[in-house]
């Protein structure tokens, strides 16, 4: 159980917007040292200025979390400045839609690079540092929070590349939790699965690598982007509320964190289909008009 955050250090990827930024704001208010990581320099600079004005000690780094070398340098910089971090928020993410066979190799490499490999790098680099610190001090406590998505527990159509990345993060984080329990009681883990929450993820294309930026999106990708924009922008739960939930989960050593618990009914239905060997259900069962519109759009009707 972690109650006192003052003087501890947190590494936050995707710190320039969304959940990362809101968690950083809570961290600054609680007297934490903050390592702010983002690929977008202007957003990073703005976050750094805000956190320093709030009195936090800040290390800000522009890093592509998909890049092993950049992440390894980040880990060295963190250790040199603050020592082992007490908290790691592997939060950076990008979104992409479209029919699963229409995604290019470049699409897969970009989304899996950020959404999955970014988490992998965060886990492989910072967990050993945290375990080393815990071994030296019985009072030391740490916690890793990985951001997946409800898309990692469900399989909404026309966004398979994102579903795949987030399902892997779910599996990775559940395994991390179990692996940590074998080794220590001093370092915990949590899995954040947001649903539709207004963040910067719907404008991920702003950070799409230059070589990919010119790729012309397919019809299904454009439709998926429009649906995602509408769903996320109309979300009623805010990133601030979710960030507060995350800190409550850390304090309570709670593993699963859901922004929309009511959506768990869909997860239950999926699991019941699996154990009863029933084919996947219609994902639009409760909102048939959305499914009808999507099918019509993809089949070329107006």
Does the residue 100 lie in any domain?
A: yes
Question: Residue 202 above 60 pLDDT?
Answer: no
The model's confidence at residue 100, banded by pLDDT at 50, 70 and 90, is: very high
pLDDT for res 302: 46
**Active site annotation includes 256:** no
Does the residue 109 lie in any domain?
A: yes
Distance CA 267, CA 193 (A): 12
Does the residue 158 lie in any domain?
A: yes
pLDDT for res 3: 81
Q: How far is CA 269 from each of CA 155, 162, 174, 193, rounded to the nearest angstrom?
A: 12, 21, 20, 17
pLDDT for res 231: 59
Domain count, the chain: 1
Q: Where do the DSSP E strands lie in the chain?
A: 9-13, 33-38, 58-62, 87-90, 142-147, 187-193, 256-258
Distance CA 88, CA 13 (A): 8
Does the residue 300 lie in any domain?
A: no
The model's confidence at residue 218, banded by pLDDT at 50, 70 and 90, is: confident
Read off the pLDDT of each residue in 35-52 and give the average, rounded to a whole number: 97
Distance CA 114, CA 240 (A): 23
Convert the pLDDT of each residue in 220-268 to its tens digit.
Answer: 888 777 776 665 565 667 889 999 999 999 999 999 999 888 888 889 9
CATH of the domain at 106: 3.40.50.720
The model's confidence at residue 108, banded by pLDDT at 50, 70 and 90, is: very high
Does the residue 241 lie in any domain?
A: yes
pLDDT for res 232: 57
Read off the pLDDT of each residue in 266-289 and give the average, rounded to a whole number: 88
Convert the pLDDT of each residue in 67-78 to its tens digit.
Answer: 999 999 999 999
* Least-confidence region, from 124-128, 195-199, 274-278: 195-199
Which residue among the candidates 162, 177, 195, 256 is catalytic per the annotation?
162
Read off the pLDDT of each residue in 269-295 and give the average, rounded to a whole number: 87
Q: Which domain holds residue 59?
A: 9-263
* Least-confidence region, from 46-50, 148-152, 293-297: 293-297
CA angle 5/8/12 to nearest 5° reads: 95
Does the residue 45 lie in any domain?
A: yes
Contact 115, 169 (CB under 8 A): yes
Containing 221, the helix (H) or strand (E) segment is: helix 219-233
- The encoded tokens of residue 51 equal 């956190």
Does the residue 294 lie in any domain?
A: no
The model's confidence at residue 199, banded by pLDDT at 50, 70 and 90, is: low
Convert the pLDDT of each residue in 6-26 to its tens digit.
Answer: 999 999 999 999 999 999 999
Contact 259, 194 (CB under 8 A): yes
pLDDT for res 84: 98
Outline where 113-258 has alpha helix (H).
118-136, 160-183, 210-213, 219-233, 239-252
- The encoded tokens of residue 223 equal 């439709």
Question: Residue 54 above 50 pLDDT?
Answer: yes
Read off the pLDDT of each residue in 108-113 and give the average, rounded to a whole number: 96
Does the residue 123 lie in any domain?
A: yes
Query: What pairing do the DSSP bridges indicate for beta strands 58-62 and 87-90?
Result: unpaired
């Amino acid at each position: 159980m972690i109650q006192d955050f003052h003087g501890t250090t947190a590494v936050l990827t995707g710190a320039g917007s969304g959940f990362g930024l809101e968690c950083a704001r809570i961290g600054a208010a609680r007297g934490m040292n903050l390592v702010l990581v983002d690929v977008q320099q202007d957003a990073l600079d703005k976050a750094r200025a805000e956190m320093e004005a709030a009195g936090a000690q800040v290390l800000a780094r522009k890093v592509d979390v998909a890049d092993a070398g950049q992440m390894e340098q980040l880990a060295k910089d963190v250790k040199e400045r603050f020592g082992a971090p007490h908290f790691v928020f592997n939060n950076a993410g990008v979104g992409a839609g479209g029919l699963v066979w229409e995604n290019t190799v470049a699409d897969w490499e970009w989304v899996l690079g950020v959404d999955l490999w970014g988490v992998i790098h965060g886990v492989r680099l910072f967990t050993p540092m945290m375990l080393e610190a815990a071994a030296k001090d019985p009072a030391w406590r740490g916690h890793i929070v990985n951001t997946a998505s409800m898309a990692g527990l469900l399989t909404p159509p026309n966004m398979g590349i994102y579903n795949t990345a987030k399902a892997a993060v779910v599996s990775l984080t559940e395994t991390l939790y179990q692996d940590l329990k074998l080794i220590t009681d001093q370092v915990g883990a949590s899995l954040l699965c947001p649903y539709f929450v207004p963040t910067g993820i719907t404008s991920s294309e702003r950070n799409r690598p230059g070589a990919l930026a010119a790729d012309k999106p397919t019809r299904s990708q454009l439709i998926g982007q429009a649906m995602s924009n509408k769903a996320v922008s109309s979300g009623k739960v805010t990133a601030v509320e979710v960030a507060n939930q995350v800190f409550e989960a850390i304090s309570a050593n709670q593993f699963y964190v859901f922004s929309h618990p009511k959506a768990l009914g869909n997860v239950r239905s999926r699991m019941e289909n699996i154990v009863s060997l029933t084919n996947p259900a219609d994902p639009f069962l409760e909102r048939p008009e959305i499914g009808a519109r999507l099918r019509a759009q993809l089949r070329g009707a107006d």
